[in-house]
Amino acid sequence: MQKTIKTATVITLTLLVASSLFVLIQYAMVRTSTPQFCATCHEMQFAYDTWKSSTHVNNRHGLVAKCMDCHLPPVEDTLSFYPAKIYHGIKDLVLHFTNEAYDREKSRKLVYETFNNKYCLKCHSNLLYIPDKRGAMLAHRSLIYARSGYEKKCLDCHENLVHKPTEFYRYK
């Protein structure tokens, strides 16, 4: 009887600690996943300002692509998403607090090199049906069905789509 009560107590405490830890981690992930949070570091202010004035925020569909949508694996891919988010968060914190000079161009090149088209294709999934823009449709077909050795990145054509300084909001 004593052993059963002790086992039940250990299991209950373990579940309580585990669920509390899960809730705390999830809360932290949600709070740190907003563009406004990203903009709290001065290094990200340029990216935040240019994002706010881009068509990824201001468009006729009313959709908003947030930082994580383009810069991290899909949330549904949990085994890739959480490690990538933690890695980038720690990296950005270390750079911020060690006062290393932030090189925007170097960072941009690194993002470009490691960029994966699946980040764009999360939202832009219907690229092969653009009835009023045949050229765009054909260009996207060569991206999606690329022959071996002819692979392209979305950024090859859309490099300055979001983080481009403008003096006005671009509505589309």
How far is the C-alpha of 131 from the C-alpha of 76, rounded, in Å? 31
Q: What per-residue confidence (pLDDT) applies to 21?
A: 94
CA distance 4 to 77: 39
Summarize the confidence of residues 49-59 as an average pLDDT: 86
pLDDT tens-digit series, residues 33-46: 889 998 888 788 88
pLDDT of residue 20: 96
Distance CA 140, CA 146 (A): 9
Tell me the whole-structure pTM to 2 decimals.
0.74
pLDDT, average across residues 119-126: 86
